[in-house]
Amino acid sequence: MSQLPICVYTRYTAGTMSSAPRRPRNAPPQVQGCTCNRLRRLTRRVTAVYDHALAACGLRGTQFSLLSNLLVLQTPTLSVLAEAMDMERTTLTRNLRPLIAAGWVALQPGRNARNREARMTPAGRAKLAQAKPHWRRAQSTLNSALGDAEVARLHRLVDRYLPLLRGPVHSDG
């Protein structure tokens, strides 16, 4: 019986299949693959959990997040809201359009002629209150799937890394 060739990157080690070559015990971990791709894949899966739960009340995760930020910030300028959400202002404006059309958010002139402010309307507050139980269900789903300790760890990592990437970060290559 002839053996099938095994991929040169895969080897059999101590009863398990391993695709990584052996490294010394104290060697630093090697980063393999695209970090952006991995994070985007994770974000799409997390977003799908929230979008699925929030669909019952006619919202998407991004819309819930916008309304939640408006609740906390009260009447921010569009620039302040965009910065709080780590979002380009043009993206924020595009994401606000359906909320404005639904009557959940209103834009008004800012304190100076160059700025506009966003505020949540009473209908927006009611929509956010309606959505909260669905958001809690999505949060619970993720906590159950990943475990509370892992979710807390993920939050700490995100909180630690966000400030490191604030502003323009460019590669040298």
The total domain count for the chain is 1
The pTM is what?
0.77
Q: How far apart are CA 144 and CA 135, in angstroms?
A: 14
Question: Is residue 112 domain-resident?
Answer: yes
Of 29, 45, 28, 27, the residue nearest 37 (C-alpha): 45
Looking at residue 25, its pLDDT comes to: 80
pLDDT surpasses 70 at 17: no
Domain annotation covers residue 154: no
The reply to whether 130 falls in a domain is yes
Return all residues near 151 (Cβ < 8 A) that are at least 6 apart.
Answer: 142, 143
Whether 118 contacts 102, CB under 8 Å? no
By CB neighbour count within 10 A (0-12 exposed, 13-18 middle, 19+ buried), where does 173 fall?
exposed
pLDDT tens-digit profile of 74-96? Answer: 999 999 999 999 999 999 999 99
Residue 59 falls within a domain, yes or no? no
What residues make up the domain containing 95? 75-138
Which domain CATH number covers 96? Answer: 1.10.10.10
pLDDT for the residue numbered 5: 42
- 3-state secondary structure (DSSP) of residue 96: helix
Q: What was the pLDDT predicted at 14?
A: 46
Does residue 13 sit within a domain?
Answer: no
**pLDDT exceeding 90 applies to what percent of the chain?**
70
Q: 127 in a domain, yes or no?
A: yes
pLDDT in tens, 36-47: 999 999 999 999
Residue 121 lies in a domain: yes
Of the pLDDT bands very low, low, confident and very high (cuts 50, 70, 90), residue 130 is: very high
